[in-house]
Amino acid sequence: MATHRLLFVCLGNICRSPLAEGVFGHLAAEAGVADRFELDSAGTGSWHVGDPPDARARRAAAARGIDISGQRARQVGPADFDRFDLILAMDRSNAEVLWRLAGRLGEDHAAKVRLFMEFAPETGVGEVPDPYYGGAAGFERVIDLIGEAAHGLLAHRLAGESKD
C-alpha cells in the first residue's frame, strides 16, 4: 500500500504547520487511514527550533479534540526534499523559500512544493494567513482554513491511490 509522505511548512513551525499536521492526522485517523501517511511539519525560519506549538495554536486544536502539544519546531532542510513526496507551504512566501531551496538542490524537487490552500479551491483563499501577531480569532480562522484544505488533500491523496 502506498505511503504518502507529507510535510507541512510555515514560517515559525509553531502555529500554522503544526496545526496542519495535527488536523490532517486527525482526519486521516477518523477515516481509518492514518497508517498510510507519514506526516511532519517544519518552518522556513529557525527562531523557534525546539519549541512546542504556540499556546494559542494548542488551544485552538484542543477545542477540536486535537492534541498538538507533543510537536517540536524544526527548520526545513535539503533532506526533506528526499524524505517527503509532497511539501505543503502555508503561504506564498514560504513556498518561494522552498522553491529556491529546491532549485539549489539541482534535481526536480520544486514540483513537490505546493500551496496547501490549492486543495480547498472552494474557499477562494490562496494562503493560510500568518496568525502570530493577532489574537484567538485569527487562530480560529486559520484552523478553519486548514480543515478545508486538509479535507481536500486527504480526498485527493486517497483518490490517487486507486491509480497506483
Chain residue whose CB lies nearest ligand 4NP: 12
Say if CB 135 and CB 59 are below 8 A apart.
no
13 binds ligand 4NP (CB under 6 A): yes
Q: What is the 3-state secondary structure (H, E, C) of 67-99?
A: CCCCCCCCECCCHHHHHCCEEEECCHHHHHHHH
10 an active-site residue?
yes
Catalytic residue among 10, 15, 56, 80: 10
* Candidates 4-12, 58-66, 76-84, 115-123; binding stretch for ligand 4NP (CB under 6 A): 4-12
Cα torsion 5, 19, 42, 153: sign: positive
CB of 132: closest distance to ligand 4NP in angstroms?
4
Half-sphere exposure of 164 (CA within 13 A, CB side): 10
Indicate which residue of 15, 16, 40, 58 is catalytic.
16
Q: Answer yes or no: 141 catalytic.
A: no
Is residue 15 a contact point for ligand 4NP (CB under 6 A)?
yes
Q: Do 11 and 45 touch, CB atoms closer than 8 A?
A: yes
Does 12 sit near ligand 4NP (CB under 6 A)? yes
- Of residues 14 and 145, the one with the C-beta less far from ligand 4NP: 14
**Which region, judged by CB under 6 A, interacts with ligand 4NP, from 7-15, 80-88, 108-116, 148-156?**
7-15
47, 59, 96, 103: which one contacts ligand 4NP (CB under 6 A)? 47
Residue 16 falls in the annotated catalytic set: yes
Nearest-CA neighbor of 74 among 132, 10, 13? 13
**3-class SS of residue 60:** helix
38 Cβ partners below 8 Å, 6+ apart?
3, 4, 5, 6, 84
Interface residues toward ligand 4NP, by CB under 6 A = 10-16, 47-48, 130, 132
Active site residues: 10, 16, 130
